[in-house]
Structure 1
Amino acid sequence: MLTISLLCLFAFFAGLIDAAVGGGGLIQMPALFNFMPSMASAPLLGTNKFAAAWGTMFAAKSYVGKVRVPWKLVLPAAAAAFCMSFLGAAAVSAVPPHVVRPFVLVLLVVMAIYTFIKKDFGSVQLERTFGRRERVLTVLIGGVIGFYDGLFGPGTGSFLIFLFIRFFAFDFLLASACAKIVNVATNVAALAFFIPAGNVMYAVAVPMALCNVLGALTGTWIAVRRGSAFVRVLFMFLLVTLIAKLGYDILSGH
């Protein structure tokens, strides 16, 4: 009972952070592995994804009621992400995580430097029209990030936020909302693997999912209330945390 209570606490904070800028897996996944060390990886991964999926869905729903979402861009990205996440999951055995980590680390460093240097990056949403070129681009973004999420995962939300701002001139708040919607697709695709295989521990996953939802609703409320400037600060903090985590994993050989 104590273990489940602690996991629920971590799930709440994971949902809160993930709703604003992504990266909830940095909190929830290590908690599962630390508090349930005797369990195999597959049920822990499935349980994490089950809890995160519910939080992501509620965060996306909450954003939709408060932010004007450009559905013509987001839905094709979500569809592409859903399809490609299957391929990413299938490629896990062929491309081990230790091969992917250095490339991801370099991309995160570049993103952090770019965001830090460009002070107006994501601070204002520019009014613009979206045509065929933008729709093709959003499919490419959704497909690439969906494949990455299925293959490796850490930083998926951060990559989506950065790319939505960089190529579509969104502010951080709108980019976070769109990232959540695309993340719903990748999470559902992942669960299509985990649930049929019996790799979800429902006695743990259901209470964690409830707490993740509460955290997600809280995180969405804070992000909308505080605005893009606050989300930008959280985004930079998350990038630094991801860089430190991946750097440590590479140096320690984990």
Structure 2
Amino acid sequence: MITTSLITKMFFLCVAGFLASFVDSIAGGGGIISVPAFLAAGVPAHLALGTNKFCSTTASFTSSLKFAKSKKVNFNLLKYLIPFTFLGAVLGVNTVLKVDESFLQTLVLILVLSVGVYSVFSKSLGMENKFKKATKLNVCLGIILAFSLGFYDGFFGPGTGSFLIFGLIKIFGFDFVQAAGNAKFLNFISNIASLILFAIHGEIYYALGIPMIIFMILGARLGTSLAINKGSKLIKPIFITMSLLVAGKLVITNFI
């Protein structure tokens, strides 16, 4: 039976999903909107994470496809990185971490803040595309980045999109648009790996997730279109904002 409470909950989640995928398709960090929205709607933590992964995977596929059609994804490069992203995510989801959780959260907080602050003061960062070609050195560094962030996304997640964009800019010299396109595709791969495992363990609330997907696809399409058309001048301030918001959420969640 459909109740007023259920309709209100669905409306809230659909709006949150639209905003999350809109922001995520541009600069990453959408999870800091969508995951708290599921929890606020009364969805248990494991189901919230699994359902969010279900919805965000669909949205990231939409965004990746649009970036690819606009030729903002370098598949000649990503063919080396994709397998390591997938492997890293699978290991991340399945590994019982030996790292002390409080240490990990502190480390991630420092890294996310560093990325955001560095981006604020580096005026030229990601403003023009300086990528020339794939070399043994940058491909090896890219593989390390892809595996590490695939693993990280599998077991923890906050800031993955920001780290990917920043890493691709620093390693390959991409501008923010190219970095966002390639980062979104790699993030989609790690999402798929995580989604499969969440589904196997029955941690997806399909009744809430399926309606929300529609709005997340719409948000992803709009955000990607703006990113492609407006370029680095739009992406950089949103990237900085989301990096600092992710850091703020980690502070509130773990230290207050």
| TM-based fold match above 0.5 | yes
Distance (Å, rounded) in 2 between the aligned partners of 1:231 and 1:83: 29
Once the two structures are superposed, the pairs formed by residues 58-73 of structure 1 within 5 Å of their partners are 58-73=62-77
Distance (Å, rounded) in 1 between the aligned partners of 2:101 and 2:224: 31
Distance (Å, rounded) in 2 between the aligned partners of 1:147 and 1:187: 11
Q: Does 1:248 find its partner at 2:252?
A: yes
Distance (Å, rounded) in 2 between the aligned partners of 1:141 and 1:47: 26
Q: Does 1:45 find its partner at 2:49?
A: yes
Q: Does 1:56 find its partner at 2:60?
A: yes
CA contact (8 A) 1:21 1:158 kept: yes
Displacement of 1:93 in angstroms is 5.3
Matching residue of 1:20: 26
After superposition, the CA RMSD in angstroms is 1.4
Displacement of 1:97 in angstroms is 4.1
Displacement of 1:132 in angstroms is 2.0
Q: Does 1:176 find its partner at 2:180?
A: yes
Deviates more, 1:113-122 or 1:168-177: 113-122
Displacement of 1:92 in angstroms is 4.7
Matching residue of 1:102: 106
Show CA shifts across 1:169-220 (max 9, x none): 0000110000110011111000111111111111111111111111000100
Q: Does 1:192 find its partner at 2:196?
A: yes
Matching residue of 1:213: 217
Pick from 139, 144, 165: which aligns with 1:135? Answer: 139
Matching residue of 1:115: 119
TM-score normalised to the size of structure 2?
0.93
Pick from 40, 49, 52: which aligns with 1:34? Answer: 40
Distance (Å, rounded) in 2 between the aligned partners of 1:78 and 1:127: 19
Matching residue of 2:171: 167
Distance (Å, rounded) in 1 between the aligned partners of 2:96 and 2:248: 23
Show CA shifts across 1:42-64 (max 9, x none): 22111110000000000000001
- Percent identity reads 31
CA contact (8 A) 1:100 1:152 kept: no
Pick from 161, 183, 201: which aligns with 1:157? Answer: 161
For the residue of structure 1 that corresponds to 2:132, the secondary structure is: coil
CA contact (8 A) 1:97 1:152 kept: no
Displacement of 1:35 in angstroms is 0.9
Q: Does 1:11 find its partner at 2:12?
A: no
Matching residue of 2:4: none
Matching residue of 1:126: 130
Distance (Å, rounded) in 2 between the aligned partners of 1:104 and 1:93: 15
- The residue type paired with residue 38 of structure 2 is L
Distance (Å, rounded) in 2 between the aligned partners of 1:205 and 1:167: 36
TM-score normalised to the size of structure 1?
0.94
Displacement of 1:70 in angstroms is 1.9
- Residues 95/43 of structure 1: CA separation in 2 closer, same or farther (3 Å cut): farther
Distance (Å, rounded) in 2 between the aligned partners of 1:94 and 1:145: 17
Segments of structure 2 that go 5 or more residues without pairing to the other structure are: 1-6
Segments of structure 1 that go 5 or more residues without pairing to the other structure are: none
Displacement of 1:96 in angstroms is 5.9
